[in-house]
Amino acid sequence: MYTLGIETSCDETSIAVLKNLEVLSNVTISSLKAHKKYGGVVPEIATRAHLKNIDRVLKAALEKAALELKDIDLIAATHRPGLIGSLMVGLNFAKGLSLALGRPFIGVNHLHGHFFSSFLNYQYKVKVPFLGLVVSGGHTNIYEVRDIDKPRLIGSTQDDACGEALDKVAKAYGLGYPGGPVIDKLFRPEYKNEFQFRCGKKGLDLSFSGIKTALVYKKNELESGGKKLTNSLKRKILSSFQFSLVEVIVKTIIEACRRKSINRVSCGGGVVANSFLRQRLEEEGRKNKISFMIPSLEYTQDNGAMVAGLGFYLYNKKRLVSKLSLAAEAS
């Protein structure tokens, strides 16, 4: 079965073609460069970029898969959450294809697509129950998944998402946007306790706004005291910062596993590309006998393959389809 997946929830225009759960193509064009000078994604710019790019992304995805549109059996698209204008471009494009081809259409939640991404290319077996961990620029969520079409949110950030905190701190320290990859490159484990920063935690819920503010205050404190913020000092501060972020996420997901008596966790989202987070999940997984299913790096960011994969699974196993009246939902 060939599934076409369309993802346009933020700044990536991404379309993939899957044969069951095997990725035949996954083509993405990002408008990131257009947003850099603003220090974040500008919704209007993102929407215009999707309108400009979606036709050629579709053509490239089909060519790479060596298929034609008439070969597609199912069309899946993100309908929530995300930027409303961006979502509407991809969702309406998918509906148009569904009508033109006479093929079933299914709208998916792209956060659920993130934790499904580890199952692409049969990297891991789809088997419930498991916990879903999504760590991205806009979300930090933990799901209990006993039925894939009905995941239950059991923990989340109460303010800033982890990736958002990384981006805002990087901006404050003059490192540009996006900040996560830059901080990850600067990170050195020997400096993890050079400064003491704490993330908020209550049960399975997290808070990252306090640590973000603490980093800004630390910078102001050092500069007002006449201390030069050298590259070496930045590295020490930001290494301690990243260590605190990663450790609270790892601690919380381990706690969630114990509470729910579940030893399988499927991870996804842009921050899962962080090398130290991947390392710590693998280490703690071995120590606590928990299987952390971590996707390939190419499937951590927003991508059409995860949308197609989840859409295929829901249609194939549950026979779920969506009406063409399905609306885009920002949250």
> Is pTM, for the whole model, over 0.85?
yes
Same structural domain, 68 and 148: no
By percentage, how much of the chain surpasses pLDDT 70?
Answer: 100
Return all residues near 324 (Cβ < 8 A) that are at least 6 apart: 95, 98, 99, 105
Q: Which residue has the tokens 């194939």?
A: 316
Please indicate, yes or no, if residue 151 is contained in any of the structural domains: yes
**Number of structural domains found in the chain:** 2
The three-class DSSP label of residue 282 is: helix
Same structural domain, 22 and 150: no
Answer whether residue 157 shows pLDDT above 90.
Answer: yes
Antiparallel, parallel or unpaired: β 12-19 and 2-7: antiparallel
Same structural domain, 284 and 251: yes
Same structural domain, 284 and 307: no
When pLDDT is cut at 50, 70 and 90, the band that residue 37 belongs to is confident
pLDDT of the residue at 226: 86
Same structural domain, 195 and 305: no
When pLDDT is cut at 50, 70 and 90, the band that residue 227 belongs to is confident
Residue 135 one-letter amino acid: V
Please indicate, yes or no, if residue 330 is contained in any of the structural domains: no
pLDDT of the residue at 312: 98
pLDDT of the residue at 331: 86
When pLDDT is cut at 50, 70 and 90, the band that residue 32 belongs to is confident
Answer whether residue 225 shows pLDDT above 90.
Answer: no
Buried b (16+ CB within 10 A) or exposed e, 213-242: ebbeebbeeeeeeeeeeeeeebbbbbbbbb
Same structural domain, 37 and 102: yes
CATH assignment at residue 111: 3.30.420.40
When pLDDT is cut at 50, 70 and 90, the band that residue 73 belongs to is very high
Same structural domain, 152 and 109: no
pLDDT of the residue at 193: 96
74-92 confidence digits (pLDDT tens): 999 999 999 999 999 999 9
Which residue stretches of 225-303 are H helix? 231-260, 275-288
Please indicate, yes or no, if residue 7 is contained in any of the structural domains: yes
Please indicate, yes or no, if residue 82 is contained in any of the structural domains: yes
pLDDT of the residue at 40: 84
How far apart CA 220 and CA 16 sit, in angstroms, is: 45
178-202 confidence digits (pLDDT tens): 999 999 999 999 999 999 999 999 9
Please indicate, yes or no, if residue 323 is contained in any of the structural domains: no
Query: Which of the pair, 37 or 254, is modelled with greater confidence?
Result: 254
Same structural domain, 148 and 66: no
pLDDT of the residue at 67: 98
When pLDDT is cut at 50, 70 and 90, the band that residue 39 belongs to is confident
Structure tokens at 28: 């993405």
Answer whether residue 33 shows pLDDT above 90.
Answer: no
Same structural domain, 15 and 99: yes
The rounded mean pLDDT for the chain is: 96
Residues in a beta bridge with 18: 3, 23
pLDDT of the residue at 276: 98
pLDDT of the residue at 300: 97
Please indicate, yes or no, if residue 19 is contained in any of the structural domains: yes
pLDDT of the residue at 213: 96
Exposure of 272 in the CB half-sphere (CA atoms within 13 A): 30
Please indicate, yes or no, if residue 329 is contained in any of the structural domains: no
228-272 confidence digits (pLDDT tens): 899 999 999 999 999 999 999 999 999 999 999 999 999 999 999
Same structural domain, 134 and 283: yes
Domain that holds residue 158: 128-294
Answer whether residue 296 shows pLDDT above 90.
Answer: yes
Same structural domain, 159 and 259: yes
Same structural domain, 307 and 271: no
Please indicate, yes or no, if residue 35 is contained in any of the structural domains: yes
